Amino acid sequence: MVQAIHTTVPGRARFKVSELYRSEPLKKLLEFRLARNKEISHVSASALTGNILVCFNSGNTPQTIESLIAGIVQEHHHHLENGTLPATPEAAPASGGSPVLASPLNTIRSYFFGPEDQPQEPWHLLEADEVLARYQTSKDSGLAAAQVQENLRKFGANVLPESQPRSAWEIFAGQFNSLPVALLGAAAGLSVLTGGLVDAVLIAGVVVVNAFIGYKTESEAEKTIRSLQTLVHPLAMVIREGKLREISSEEVALGDLVVLRPGSYVPADARLLEARHLSVDESALTGESMPVVKTEQVLLEENIPLGDRVNLVFMGTLVTGGEGLAVVVATGSFTEIGIIQSLAGEATTPETPLARQLGEVGDRLVLVCAGICATVFFLGLWRGLSWLEMLRNSICLAAAAVPEGLPTAATTTLVLGVRDMKRHHVLIRRLNAVETLGAVEVVCLDKTGTITHNQMSVVQIFSGMNVLKVAGGKFWSPEGPVFLADHRGLARLLEVSVLCNETKVYCQEGQYSLRGTPTESALVDLAIRAGIDVRALRQGYPLEKFNYRSEDRPFMGSFHKHPSKGKFLAIKGSPLEVLAMCGHYLLNGRKIALKEEDRLEIEAQNAHMAGEAQRVLGLSYGEGKDFPNGELPQGLVWLGMMGMADPVREGVKEARAGIKTMMIT
């Protein structure tokens, strides 16, 4: 229940409390109870990590503090089971005994307002039927309307925690929180003391104008950022009372059955009940650019990373292929993306480089001014001048040393930076973010999706024992351009890449749109650019079924009806595995028997393309045969290999801005 994880520093201990994880009420109760103990000087608990830090006097030990924490946790469990509220402690003995409880409940009642904690289980280890039973729902009919309303009332709406917007007063007051403004305020005060009211008014005017400029810029950015949050309203497909309904994602409740389809947004964390070739883009959560293939099977290991929990889908991710059905197990701030957002909200803002440098300048300025003013004061006394006159002169000298124009110049420069960033479609909420951005010297970047487009494209083809370069949907050999009409093997290669492919193709007003994985979409996109009518091709070869990749079969096959020869089989996958099933290759439309030297040449070219950081696929086909399930097809015709890469974005090389870049992959 409670485990000490750091006790080496005397009077300070950190504990891991398993029940504290994602339990905001227990967090507040622990902090409330322990802070009332006179033997404890500081308490800080986190529901996001499940840790609690306690600072105590020398009369206690980590063991006594651990006992206190365990007692409060047990009491919390007791009151949850009985539906009552815990009382407030009047005292808690340092010896680790039970705290003395008092009767008034109103003091702590406010800590328990709001949604209750959501159940936390290792959902990836549970059977689907067990998860359904936990939420009293059915795979066929879903939740009843009354149960939906009860869960929403009990656990809250499915919305992520939002930071409170800054009020106009907070934005305006924040403009005075800087060292130059403090120095100007001191100068104005000194001017008043020495009778310089005009100087004081002018300095105050500079400060107010500076604050107004900063307030105007930040308030506009705040309004723009807030307005963006209302532009997108994700929808979710759920099954309730046996009917498929489209609702707002905010209305999704614990226990809802969510229907997942290509292109749909995952509205909450959910345990998969069905997964039919389901793939999900989880880059927003894990940073991995490639879609993750999902399964409904139970996993065996408990402590595995989120990216490996393939029987769960997470809020904020996107379905890229296949279909699925899942039961919601976490909503709102209890989702994985909600936890990340909460952690980010708890992060403290560090001091900006400019503020740190101004602080150093201010310290030196104060010391130098103090030394010069003291020297002038004593020199005047030594020459026989009155001390009052010399005091007034010294104060005036100190006021004159303050740079009145610095805040205005700094604020104006930052405002110009904010407006320049806005022209590049970057919104900045606070002015000091610009100065921090300007101090960046090194940027570490992930390659995929940052430096590159995160969109695969075919860059090289090996067909008919010839290497072809690909650019803009056109093909080039060392001798010159290559046309499909003159290269039947290349045309067949593109056709097979379209047939053995799950990418959905939509056409509206002559414009194609593709929905599928980046790899398969790249193959279809190349065929379209080369002039192949992919929809007519698929209609001419009706699909019967797919045989998908597996751990022991690193290739994919699709079975089609041949227009004239009965059956047609299209294969794509690991080049060497596909080559092993082939007995011929296609050259200028003719089938030629594969010799040993041909196989060695193909293997060498595969190694060369892979060595150039290309993702290589081998393709082949067979026709006029019926290949039984579970048997590896033989006697196929080798078509060639396609090498794909994720191209670098335009302008990346030029967009250095004097900043050192480091690629992390």
Give the active site residue among 117, 363, 446, 486.
446
Look at the chain and count its residues. 665
The pair of structure tokens assigned to 498 is 């379209």
Pick from 311, 301, 335, 272: which is nearest to 120 by CA? Answer: 335
Active site residue 256: no
Closest CA to 358 of 539, 509, 177: 177
C-alpha pair distances (Å), 616 with each of 266, 585, 627, 641: 31, 18, 25, 6
Q: State the alpha helices, DSSP H only, in 500-543.
A: 518-529, 534-540
Burial of 407: CB neighbours in 10 Å, binned 0-12, 13-18, 19+: buried
Answer positive or negative: Cα dihedral of 377, 378, 381, 385: negative
> How far apart are alpha carbons 536 and 222 in whole angstroms?
51
Closest to 286 in 3D by CA, of 337, 344, 240: 337
Phi, psi values for residue 43, rounded to 5°: -140, 135
Q: Which residues pair with 324 in a beta bridge?
A: 260, 275
In this structure, which amino acid lies at residue 401?
A
Q: Are 524 and 455 in contact (CB under 8 A)?
A: no
C-alpha distance from residue 200 to each of 187, 206, 207, 366 (Å): 8, 10, 11, 19
Pick left, alpha or beta for residue 419 (phi over 0 → left; psi -120 to 50 → alpha; otherwise beta). alpha
CB atoms within 10 A of CB 282: 25
What is the token pair recorded at 54? 């306690």
Residue 603 CB neighbours (<10 A): 13
**Please, where are the H alpha helices in 135-262?**
145-155, 168-174, 179-193, 197-228
Could you tell me if residue 107 is left (phi over 0), alpha (psi between -120 and 50 degrees) or otherwise beta?
Answer: alpha
Question: How far is 351 from 359, CA to CA, in rounded Å?
Answer: 10
Q: List active site positions.
A: 446
